[in-house]
Every structure is written in structure tokens, then in C-alpha cells.
Amino acid sequence: MKLNIFPYLLLSLIIASCQKDNGVDRIETVTFSSCAIKYSVYKNGGLFLYEGHSIPNEMEYESAKRKLAICLCEEYLSHPSDSVKSMILDIYHSEEQYFHIDTSLSIEFDSIVSNRNIIFNPEIIID
């Protein structure tokens, strides 16, 4: 009995050509305490969206740190700890290239935790 592999070969080629290469080189994780946030690291330094617009790897990393801060704030609310508080404040005071927190205002730590979703908004907006 002769097996015709042509249909299987054709199907394999179609499936392979339909898979989109989104340029992700690897997935990395930022972690602290019980929080772990995964983010993409793209080939060629970022994800090309369209002419003049891309998402650089550093922007993905900064967004992941902000998500980590939100997670840590939620953890702090249920289990206060000095090490978690310290990490939240480190992220709050860190210099960012793509995001900005106005640290010139004197905000109490409790307000940072309460307003975590606004202060550490991790959304990447491309205009």
C-alpha cells in the first residue's frame, strides 16, 4: 500500500505559513515576594506596529514593573511587610523612560497603595 504524503505536506506548509511570528524572542519574568509578572522581549529591540510606531523592550519591562507594583500593593493590603513596602517605594521612585510618576508631590504610602491602579497604570498607549 502506497501512502500519499502530499496532502499532509501541503497541510503542514499551510499551517506553518499561517502562524504569525510576532517577533517575541523570549518571555521574561519580574518577581518579588509572591508576585510574578511575565513580559515579552522582542527580537530587534521591540515590536514593530506600523511606520513610526513600535513598542520597545524597555517599555514592556517598565510596564511589567508597574504591574508588579500593583500586585505588591494588593499583597501589602492583605499581609503588610517592610520588604514589600520597600519594593513598592523603590518602583515608585525609579526613573522610567516611557512612563512617568510625578514624585515631586508628597504622597503618603497609604495613598500610593490605595491609588495603585492610577499611580502604576501599566497600559501602553501608542498614538
Q: Which secondary-structure segment (H or E) carries 75?
A: helix 57-78
Over pLDDT 90: what percentage of the chain? 65
Question: pLDDT tens digits for 68-94?
Answer: 999 999 999 999 999 999 999 999 999
Spell 67-86 as b/e; 16+ CB within 10 A means b. bbbbbbbebbeeeeeeebbe
pLDDT in the model for residue 104: 75
Over the stretch 3-19, which tens digit does the pLDDT of each residue have?
555 554 444 444 444 44
The contacts of residue 58 (CB under 8 Å, 6+ apart) are 97, 98
Distance of CA 52 to the CA centre of its chain: 21
Dist CA 87 CA 14 (whole Å): 48
CA distance 33 to 22: 31
Give the pLDDT confidence score for residue 10 in this predicted structure. Answer: 45
Of 20, 67, 19, the C-alpha closest to 39 is 67
Q: Quick one: pLDDT at residue 41? A: 97
